Amino acid sequence: MDFKDNVLKKLNTTNLFSVTYRKDKFAISDKEYPIGYTSFLVMDTDSRFIDESIFEDLKNFTEELLNKDFNRTDFLNYRAKIISVIDVLSQYEIFKIFDIKKCKEIINEFFTEEKIKLYEEYERFTKNEYRIKISEKLDELVKASVDLETAFLIGFFISSAVKEVKYYSSVVFQITNKIVKNNARTKAELAEAFNDFINDPYMNFIFDVNSHPFGTRATIIPVVESENGTSKILRKVYYNNLKDFLMTDLFEGYIHGHYLWRCDICDRYFFMTTARNQLYCSTVNKKYGVPCSYIAKHPEVTKRKMKKQRKSDSLYYVLWKNRYDSIRKNKSLSKYSANVSAKAKELIDYYFNLANVDFDYAENQYEKDMELSKIYEEAMKD
């Protein structure tokens, strides 16, 4: 099997990334998100309209390189194309859940001057243009060939990932509209709305539901993690296709009651993790300066311009100031380290800012989160 055959074979067998599933969340690249959250990310960034031209160009150039002799100029051009594409991807929220910076570092490592010389030397060796003894040099060339195969795979994976995201965002858009139209709230209603979607002849035509069912492929292994001194068995899933992960996350989200809804005031899509009668988002409406959820409870807001409120006038500021003074005092008394105190300050700032834009959170959870003992407990975690 030659070099090109190796690359093409690995396209369907190489594990791209792994995802660990914990309760109603998934962890990827050392960060945790609610299950189903990818549906919000692709809708929030309008991923249905990504310009594919630069990604198609990368794919064509990758195929071209596989069918010609290796040379330094082509390798440098290939590296530049991939870096440019990664920079474009980093503008979209859905791709930020992956370690984009690390990907760029890997590409640069694959195309150092030293590596490029090894790639050229490996090709001459495979064409019997020169011979070497079986030694460390041969091992070095073989390892270099594996790195080059991976570099070519990245080119193919990135170009296909964009198409997969566009496809996924279109599916999410159509399903969400069906859910909103059906006023689906409970898990049973979500299931019924989804059933309507997959049985709609028009949707079948667009997404080839009959000929290409929503099947996914993955490798699942058990992993054991410890939380607060208690060991738990979790599932870690290795994906070799981005679409498989996205579709799995979408379906898992519905199973857990995590879904998108469209705000009746600003028409933005927002993400919910509980099946409740929420019709409006908690995003600050730029026109009125308060969240849409607040506007819904106070329609008079739309009839007059809101007077800008000072921070000290906030109902939630008093509690924040109380906690801030306590943290500062405890630090001065050396009850807690400077690092813990700084983290505690970050937490109360975060909760305070959240309370000022999310009125449901402010009314139902803010005081609980601001309990000083809980603040310190969270601040002392690794």
Q: 115-124: per-residue pLDDT in tens?
A: 999 888 888 8
Q: Are 125 and 141 in contact, with CB atoms under 8 Å apart?
A: yes
Q: Does 316 or 20 have the greater pLDDT score?
A: 20
Q: pLDDT tens digits for 342-365?
A: 999 999 988 887 877 666 677 788
pLDDT on residue 280: 81
The arithmetic mean of pLDDT across residues 127-152, rounded, is: 76
CA distances from 119 to 138, 146, 194, 283 (A): 12, 10, 50, 52
- What pLDDT is recorded for position 171? 86
> Residue 303's pLDDT band (boundaries 50, 70, 90)?
low
| In contact, 381 and 374? CB cutoff 8 Å | no
In this prediction, residue 131 carries a pLDDT of 62
Tell me which DSSP letter residue 135 carries. Answer: S
Give the model confidence (pLDDT) of 332-345 as tens digits.
998 999 999 999 99
For residue range 101-112, what is the model confidence (pLDDT) as tens digits? Answer: 888 899 999 999
Q: What is the pLDDT of residues 57-74, one digit of tens each?
A: 999 999 999 888 888 999
Beta strands in the chain (DSSP E): 17-22, 25-28, 31-34, 219-227, 230-239, 259-262, 269-272
pLDDT of residue 347: 93
Q: Are 360 and 293 in contact (CB under 8 A)?
A: yes
Half-sphere exposure of 104 (CA within 13 A, CB side): 13
Residue 307 has pLDDT above 50, yes or no: no
Q: Give the pLDDT of residue 318.
A: 81
| Rounded distance between C-alpha atoms, residue 31 and residue 57, angstroms | 32
- pLDDT-based confidence at residue 323 (cuts at 50, 70, 90): very high
Lowest-pLDDT range of 43-47, 125-129, 281-285: 125-129
Residue 314 CA to chain centroid, in angstroms? 34
Regarding predicted confidence, which is higher, 197 or 132? Answer: 197
In which band, very low, low, confident or very high, does the pLDDT at 314 lie, cut at 50, 70 and 90? low
Position 130 scores a pLDDT of 57
Query: Tell me, what's the pLDDT at 241?
Result: 84
In this predicted structure, what is the pLDDT of residue 360? 67
